[in-house]
Amino acid sequence: MADPVASIPSSGHSASTGTTTRIFVYLTTAATLANSAVVAAPIAIKFKGDKLAPIASVMLASARASALTARPDVIIAQELEKEARGRGLRYSFDIKSKGKTFEVGIDTRTIKLLENKPDGPNAD
């Protein structure tokens, strides 16, 4: 099989030009991949209670995935809140499913499902 780098036209310099071209291509490829990683880095998502995120053991993305496993459809609101009676933190998601809004709660330490019920008239 032909070397794809060898097919790059050289500028007609010495016999070592092929090696120089190959190194240049590898370095250019490495730089492109490094820049892609920076562009693909996760961006911060603002949501109610996001200031509490540094003390949550579970990342927002994992909690969202867990909530959508429990109640598949579309998340329309999300927040990180302190549990009633000081029992810790929880992610709370409002998920629109089959025309109704459901509140799905996920524990920030264990990622366990705490709540999955229709949102009541006294919603947060």
| CATH code of residue 105 | 3.10.450.40
Measured CA to CA, the distance from residue 16 to residue 35 in angstroms comes to 29
pLDDT per position as a tens digit, 17-48: 555 555 444 444 444 444 444 444 444 567 89
Residue 36's pLDDT is what?
Answer: 43
Residue 116 backbone dihedrals phi, psi, to 5 degrees: -160, 80
Inside any domain, residue 124: no
Structural domain for 15, as ranges: 1-41
Inside any domain, residue 123: no
From the list 99, 96, 61, the residue with the least C-alpha distance to 80 is 61
Inside any domain, residue 34: yes
Do 28 and 71 reside in the same domain of the chain? no
Count of domains for the chain: 2
Full-model pTM? 0.61
Do 37 and 90 reside in the same domain of the chain? no
